[in-house]
Structure 1
Amino acid sequence: MSWKNDIRVVISIDFGTTYSGFAYSNKINPEIITNDTWPEQIGQLKTNTVLQYDKNFKNVEEWGYPALAKKPRRNKGKSKNQPVPKPVEHFKLHLGSMPDNDKPLLPKGLNHKKAITDYLKSMDTINTRWPNIKFMDQALIILTVPAEFTDQAKAILRDCIYNAELIKTKTSEKLQFSTEPEAAAVHCMKVLKEHLLDIVGTNFLIVDCGGGTVDLTTRQLLSNERLGEKTIRTGGFCGGIYVDRGFLAFIGEKVGPSVMQILQESHYGQLQYMVQEFCKKVKLLFTGYREDYKTFDMDLDEVCPVVKQYVTGSKLDKLEEDEWIVELKFEDVKKMFDPVIKKILKLIRDQLNRGGSISAMFLVGGFSESKYLQKRIREEFSDEVRNISVPPQPMAAIVRGALEYGLNMQKIKSRTLPLTYGIELAPLWKEGDPPERKQTHGRIFVFRRLVSKGIEVDVDQEFGLELHPSFQNQIEISIEVYATTAIEAKFCDEPGMKKIGELRLDFPDPHLGFHRKITFTLTFGQMEIRAYARNQLGQSTNANFELEL
């Protein structure tokens, strides 16, 4: 019996850089419920992706919103010699392909895999919802990931889900992945109907503006409410937190970079309280229209009183003269947004150049609620895309769409491959091959392409080869699998090429010697690469694909 027949509950998890959430549904009565109860929060569709550890960074003391920002208490706070432990956040960025020096620093003794595992384990209030469910046997988990995540990043997340005890085995098929824009696209299929765009062949662009990343994909509506992917998924690190970083840089100009360093290291709760006040009272309200904006006075003595202990020199004189009030003028706030929005506009432009005619563009994710971002996108693209809209509750679009996908996984028909995949083979060296590549055993190592970058493949489409034993009594075979950013490649050491894993196959019936063959196939249309193998009688044989981590 298929594992799908065992499923009674579907859970979707949107594990984000700054905010995370989950939704769930019983398969028999598929009402989508988005969780809105969190530590010290009720009514919010997500909570902060933050952990507060003990001093040894072994045990989680608080998670979510209460782990992040603390309202300052005058005369009761720590002195400058008694720093408050810093919470851990933005650790998801360690899975991305950004330069290491741009990734957030983690405390000594803590790595991002443990942080991710601990956070997912903290979210395990999921388990308490269904006391009669054998959770790891009867629940399907859909975990969303950014469009640009590599196969290795997904493998790390699978390990973390397993270590958080949400699945029984590391290779369990009861954990499935969906990209964030793909999940949003499933959710936005309903919005197409509202705009009378639910016509087979309609292309629409999803722009998922999250906290850390912005992800894009162009989808096509197919018959029977299924979706095809028309372009390679793209994304970048230009989410809402980069506006927050612009705000902190602005404050740093007022108090000095050394003071900001002290706040980061020793008084992070107050620093984040100041950021949250900026978000609530400035960032979320900023429309980009000068007439809408009223200069905001931020009272540092109220939102971050500890700063007064550290400011010196001319900056102290100026702040004391201004009674610790910092003015955020229209141009100041605009400068915090503009570099981030410029990157988002470029990502959209690149997608439009690739995707052909687009009937609609949907903005989802928490940062898409920014009126200024919406304004800039409409100014730039309204002549090309008539319908640019933000669906209701855009912050929950991904987690709800992922759940809809989990309830009916046939909704996704195809995906477009971001890389070219293939294997390393060792045929006999022949005249015309590079002489320097000839091996001592008279063979040459070459890259054998299985499927090319940019190809649209069905989720169950198979790519593979027929294999024969290299020696008579061979009982297993090992194949190295590679991926490259190039469309064509000859060798596995070319620029842009990377080994992503190893495929191991059993070669049964050694008594048949060379009179044996095995057909192995890899599927790439799923969010994870999966391996299958059949012998010459059509019987399945063991195939194990292990990713490089």
Structure 2
Amino acid sequence: MACFGWCGKVNEEPSKVVEFNASPAYVLKAPAPGQVHNGLGLGGVQRGDQFGTRTFRGGATAAPVVVPGNNIEEVSRVYQPPDKAIAAPVSEWVVGLDFGTTYSGFAYAKVADPENIHVYYDWPSRISEKPYCKTLTGIYYKVTAPGRLQCSSWGHHARSDYIAGASNPAVKGYYLSKFKLLLKKDLDDAFLASSIPQPLTVNTIIKDYLKCIGELALTVIKNHEGEVNFRRNSVQWCVTVPSIWDDTAKQQMKACMVNAGLVSGDGGIESVKVVLEPEAASFHCHQILRLKHKDLTLHRKDKILVADVGGGTVDIVVQELIGSGNDYKVQELTESSGGLCGGTFVDESFLRFLSKRIGCLDEFLRSVVPSYRSRLLKDWETIKCGFGSEMMTTYDSTEITIHNRLAASWEAYEKERGYPPRDSYSEVELTQQDLKDIFDPVVDEVIELIAAQLMQVSDIKMMFVVGGFAGSHYLMQRIRARFSHDVEHIVSPPNPGSAIIQGAVALALNPDAVVARVLKKTYGTSVTLRFQRGVDPEEFLKVGDDGMEWCRNRFDPFVKKGNRIEVNKFVSKEYVPHSDGQAQMMFDLYSSDLLEPRYTQGPDVVREGGFAIDLPTNYRVTEMPIFECTIYFGRTSLELRAEAKFKHHDGERPHVMELPVRYYS
């Protein structure tokens, strides 16, 4: 890993940056093998940093703090202008991909016609089913050779092909679903993790699925626009993610989009926009109110709560309007929150209920007919969607038809144990109370998450409830019964499952709509500071050649948990490389739920990942630019920009070249 140091010269006026001159910069020589890197993960000498809009946080220039054990040397800087960068293609289309736990879909719009957002509805469905804006987030792999799997189908077709192929011993395949949840680090689901067959990985599966749905989106737009006029690199891709995801998961999603071959040009991972699901929903619901429900008006300073209740995750955010009407602008008031308690967990609750009723069900699904699990959930979906409907009475019940082989196994299982015979083993009756028992554990958790946000902020004028599970009549009944006295208006838009897709496109076309967010974590890096006896652990002690005691692995915060930070505010630091011909700069980032963590090691701190910056190849240490790294913490995901700053000659403008940046986990 390469090593580099801080540099820079600062005016005594904090708001003014002076020109860089040829004064010496301080760099670090490469550490010995096995040495721990510190200072942005690499070891460094700090001269100053910037925060905000191109302003330094410090005052006058301070002398460099020399970390013992690293060899400090001076270099002079001579600048050469870079070649002129090639301009990126202009986006003509915006495509929003709502990649969900259970269902996924897409919408698109022409940049020149932002009000006309097209949602794709032409998914295969069963007869009598009304069109829906999403298809299953499922993928079917066939075994083509020992240890080799090939994506055979996706969406609704994947589940159908898997069920059909299960009856043919010559066909070996795997149907995978809910794999999006595996991006969440703290997911405790051994069954889901073990369902991924070798040699597949969760990133490979997501890449394959995104490629399938993304290529379909491109085909639809091509047919819309005409093949002659359409260019792949004219598309701006936006992928939705839960706000509760950590930055590693967000970066993985962006990387999967690139690896799927959907992103053209030289933009790489930063060409993919991440849209937070509750923010997209908020924007869409506001547009509906403005255009179709003018009796429900929102004004500046009004507070709204958005509950995105999807298939796998629940995301809740509280926003305050700081613009109104056509000038929609919001800022977060609290840390967004949520949990794993969406509609798919009602499915799991149903399977647990059925397993208690049918004692041999688990063994049957594990060893006899594994594909029957998918069939059961397909039949359950209709019952789940209808529960709570006004057309059902409290005395209504419904039935699930049982597989013939399972019915025979069930009868034999209970007969062996001396249970009294049943009237029928070919179906299971579900009463209204049974359905409540299945739904309530998940619905209760959703309601408590909403209640926790309402305890932090009073005077919420409107609550928007969106997402696939928001289409549940029973869920909406429970939410209205609990919160109708606390919130003036509780609204679930028509087709709540499409709110995020449409909102993602609209938000991408209006990038300034979200002004500020509240940080859920403290972010920082690893530095070496003076060792404090009785405070710092001995294993972090580092003694310099001069006998000075230093503490390694100290947490140096950039931004702190709970702070509201504007989306365009940044932290900026500057470096010079260590060695001639150095190809990359790399540094690590750490996060913590604590406000002021002391160390980068321990159970309260997580290494989020890091950034690798590709350096230009046409410079030598004696002809060196300054490299400025700017980190944005208030955006939908952590973003880093890197630039090479070349000294200007008399009468010339300074030359700046943007550098490629890659995220690594």
TM-score class, shorter-chain normalisation, is 0.7 to 0.9
| Structure 1 residue corresponding to 2:589, chosen from 481, 487, 496 | 481
1:106 and 2:199 matched = no
1:46 and 2:134 matched = yes
Q: Distance in 1 between matches of 2:269 and 2:576?
A: 30
1:444 and 2:543 matched = no
Q: Distance in 1 between matches of 2:86 and 2:322?
A: 26
Q: Distance in 2 between matches of 1:39 and 1:152?
A: 34
| Structure 1 residue corresponding to 2:459, chosen from 357, 362, 366 | 357
The corresponding residue for 2:47 is none
Worse overlay, 433-442 or 208-217: 433-442
Q: Distance in 1 between matches of 2:299 and 2:242?
A: 28
| Structure 1 residue corresponding to 2:362, chosen from 232, 237, 260 | 260
Deviation at 1:91, TM superposition (A): 0.6
Cα distance change on mapping 1:408 and 1:279 into 2, 3 Å: same
Q: Distance in 1 between matches of 2:123 and 2:590?
A: 42
Whether the 8 Å CA contact 1:69–1:273 is kept in 2: the answer is no
Q: Distance in 2 between matches of 1:388 and 1:181?
A: 15
The corresponding residue for 2:211 is 121
1:63 and 2:159 matched = no
Q: Distance in 1 between matches of 2:89 and 2:368?
A: 52
1:455 and 2:574 matched = no
1:295 and 2:397 matched = yes
Q: Distance in 1 between matches of 2:330 and 2:524?
A: 26
Which residue type is aligned with residue 54 of structure 1? K
The corresponding residue for 1:13 is 97
The corresponding residue for 1:271 is 373
Deviation at 1:334, TM superposition (A): 0.6
Worse overlay, 22-31 or 304-313: 304-313
Q: Distance in 2 between matches of 1:163 and 1:356?
A: 45
1:308 and 2:411 matched = no
SS of 1:147's equivalent? coil
The corresponding residue for 2:281 is 184
Q: TM-score, normalised by structure 2?
A: 0.73
The corresponding residue for 1:222 is 322
The corresponding residue for 1:369 is 471
Q: Deviations over 1:481-520 (max 9, x none)?
A: 211111112221143212223345669884499xx97654
Whether the 8 Å CA contact 1:518–1:536 is kept in 2: the answer is no
Cα distance change on mapping 1:547 and 1:354 into 2, 3 Å: farther
1:78 and 2:167 matched = yes
| Structure 1 residue corresponding to 2:182, chosen from 90, 94, 105 | 94
Q: Distance in 1 between matches of 2:134 and 2:285?
A: 19
1:203 and 2:303 matched = yes
Deviation at 1:377, TM superposition (A): 1.0
Cα distance change on mapping 1:351 and 1:99 into 2, 3 Å: same
Cα distance change on mapping 1:102 and 1:328 into 2, 3 Å: same
Q: How many residues align?
A: 540
Worse overlay, 479-488 or 333-342: 479-488
The corresponding residue for 1:529 is 638
Q: Distance in 2 between matches of 1:197 and 1:524?
A: 32
Worse overlay, 211-220 or 333-342: 211-220
1:146 and 2:235 matched = no
Whether the 8 Å CA contact 1:502–1:545 is kept in 2: the answer is no
Cα distance change on mapping 1:132 and 1:483 into 2, 3 Å: farther
Cα distance change on mapping 1:266 and 1:21 into 2, 3 Å: farther
Whether the 8 Å CA contact 1:86–1:269 is kept in 2: the answer is no
The corresponding residue for 1:35 is 120
Deviation at 1:164, TM superposition (A): 1.1
Mind listing any 5+ residue stretches in structure 1 that lack a counterpart?
none
Q: Distance in 1 between matches of 2:496 and 2:578?
A: 56
The corresponding residue for 1:422 is 524
Matched-pair identity in % = 27
The corresponding residue for 1:175 is 272
Cα distance change on mapping 1:293 and 1:3 into 2, 3 Å: farther
Whether the 8 Å CA contact 1:52–1:87 is kept in 2: the answer is yes
Cα distance change on mapping 1:92 and 1:72 into 2, 3 Å: closer
Q: Distance in 1 between matches of 2:529 and 2:580?
A: 18
Which residue type is aligned with residue 551 of structure 2? I
Whether the 8 Å CA contact 1:210–1:239 is kept in 2: the answer is yes
Deviation at 1:264, TM superposition (A): 4.9
Cα distance change on mapping 1:542 and 1:352 into 2, 3 Å: same
Q: Which has the higher contact order (CA 8 A, sep 6+)?
A: 2
Cα distance change on mapping 1:457 and 1:282 into 2, 3 Å: closer
Deviation at 1:290, TM superposition (A): 8.4
Worse overlay, 218-227 or 144-153: 218-227
Deviation at 1:293, TM superposition (A): 4.5
Whether the 8 Å CA contact 1:467–1:517 is kept in 2: the answer is yes
Cα distance change on mapping 1:201 and 1:486 into 2, 3 Å: same
Q: Distance in 2 between matches of 1:419 and 1:185?
A: 23
Deviation at 1:228, TM superposition (A): 1.4
The corresponding residue for 1:399 is 501
Whether the 8 Å CA contact 2:255–2:269 is kept in 1: the answer is no
Q: Distance in 2 between matches of 1:318 and 1:45?
A: 47
Q: Distance in 2 between matches of 1:489 and 1:114?
A: 35
Whether the 8 Å CA contact 2:142–2:174 is kept in 1: the answer is no
Deviation at 1:402, TM superposition (A): 0.1
Deviation at 1:238, TM superposition (A): 0.6
Deviation at 1:18, TM superposition (A): 0.5
Cα distance change on mapping 1:160 and 1:468 into 2, 3 Å: closer
SS of 2:444's equivalent? helix
Mind listing any 5+ residue stretches in structure 2 that lack a counterpart?
1-84, 648-653
Q: Whose helix proportion is higher, 1 or 2? A: 1
Deviation at 1:329, TM superposition (A): 1.1
Q: Deviations over 1:206-258 (max 9, x none)?
A: 111111111111122222211212221211111111111222222222322x4
Cα distance change on mapping 1:521 and 1:299 into 2, 3 Å: closer
RMSD: 3.4
Q: Distance in 2 between matches of 1:265 and 1:170?
A: 48
Whether the 8 Å CA contact 1:465–1:519 is kept in 2: the answer is yes
1:239 and 2:342 matched = yes
Q: Distance in 2 between matches of 1:434 and 1:405?
A: 47
Cα distance change on mapping 1:342 and 1:473 into 2, 3 Å: same
Deviation at 1:133, TM superposition (A): 5.7
Worse overlay, 267-276 or 474-483: 474-483
Which residue type is aligned with residue 187 of structure 1? H
Q: Deviations over 1:441-461 (max 9, x none)?
A: 354332211111122222211
Q: Distance in 2 between matches of 1:333 and 1:23?
A: 34
Whether the 8 Å CA contact 1:13–1:22 is kept in 2: the answer is yes
